[in-house]
């Protein structure tokens, strides 16, 4: 048995190691802000750099130095007006989270990925976004990994901004679609980003059945 002795007064500065999940989210949220954001520490990995590469192709300027990373945000809408080709590499988090942001932009996107990611399901973002009125499509194929029903997988085609809000069938301004993006990215998994992040009003999510860990990690 271990006993922990109470310390009356403790003052200490702790350096927290970088985290991949937070680094993804920090980079995306910083790109949607206006002005420069310093992220420190930032985890440099193949997945997080996939997110960074996509942001740079969308017109966001970035720079790095040692363990820090600077993002020069452009605001809620990226400056591109023509079709953009993005490559998520093997990062499912990059594709899931950025797709939720891109459906509200004013230009079409072709979102490709590495072969390994092309076998993973994207139904969990494509279906909710489509219900909101987003013009987003994927490739239908059999789920060879689980030997189950057909899944929607990358590459994804985003043809333009959402035309409808989640709570109303009337046409809504694209400005309403991104209203809760930043908070959603931090509060929920990237799989629920689309449903929670772009609701015009309060949205209650109910998970039925047994909640199991996904075999496809973020």
Angle (CA) 166 169 174, round 5°? 60
Mean pLDDT, range 152-177, rounded to an integer = 62
Contact 16, 42 (CB under 8 A): no
CATH for 17-79 is 3.30.1370
**Of residues 82, 81, 61, 83, the one with CA closest to residue 70:** 61
Say which residue, 81 or 1, is predicted with more confidence: 81
Q: According to the model, what pLDDT value does residue 124 have?
A: 85
Condensed to tens digits (0 to 9), the pLDDT of residues 192-217 reads: 444 444 444 455 555 555 545 443 43
Please tell me whether the peptide bond between 71 and the residue prior to it is cis, using omega within 30 degrees of 0: no
Helix axis angle, 20-31 to 46-57, nearest 10°: 10
pLDDT of residue 155 exceeding 50, the answer is: yes
Which helix (H) or strand (E) is 84 found in, with range?
strand 84-87
Q: How confident is the model at residue 17 (pLDDT cuts 50, 70, 90)?
A: confident
Express as a percent the part of the chain with pLDDT over 90.
39
Residues 6+ apart with CB under 8 A from 209: none
CA distances from 4 to 9, 26, 218 (A): 15, 35, 35
Task: Decide whether 17-79 matches 80-174 in CATH topology.
Answer: no
Q: What is the pLDDT of residue 38?
A: 94
Burial class (CB in 10 A: 0-12, 13-18, 19+), 90: middle
pLDDT at 164: 45
Which among 75, 96, 92, 108 has a CA at the least distance from the CA of 178?
Answer: 75
What would be the CATH architecture of the domain defined by 80-174? Alpha-beta prism (3.65)
pLDDT at 162 > cutoff 50: yes
The model's confidence at residue 133, banded by pLDDT at 50, 70 and 90, is confident
- The domain ranges of the chain are 17-79, 80-174
């Amino acid at each position: 048995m271990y006993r922990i002795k109470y310390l009356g007064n403790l003052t200490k500065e702790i350096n927290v190691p970088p985290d991949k999940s937070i680094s993804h989210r920090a980079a995306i949220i910083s790109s949607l802000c206006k002005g420069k954001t310093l992220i420190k520490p930032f985890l440099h990995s193949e997945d997080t750099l996939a997110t960074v590469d996509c942001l740079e192709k969308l017109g966001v300027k970035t720079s790095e130095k040692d363990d820090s990373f600077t993002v020069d945000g452009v605001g809620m809408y990226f400056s591109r007006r023509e079709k953009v080709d993005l490559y998520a590499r093997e990062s499912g988090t990059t594709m899931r989270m950025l797709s939720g942001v891109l459906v509200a932009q004013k230009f079409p996107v072709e979102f490709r990925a590495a072969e390994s990611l092309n076998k993973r399901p994207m139904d969990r973002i494509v279906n909710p976004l489509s219900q909101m009125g987003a013009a987003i499509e994927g490739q239908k194929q059999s789920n060879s990994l689980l030997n189950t029903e057909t899944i929607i997988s990358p590459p994804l085609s985003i043809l333009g901004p959402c035309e409808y809000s989640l709570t109303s069938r009337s046409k809504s301004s694209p400005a309403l679609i991104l209203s809760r993006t930043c908070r959603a990215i931090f509060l929920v998994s990237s799989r629920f980003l689309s449903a929670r992040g772009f609701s015009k009003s309060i949205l209650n999510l109910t998970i039925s059945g047994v909640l199991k860990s996904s075999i496809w990690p973020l």
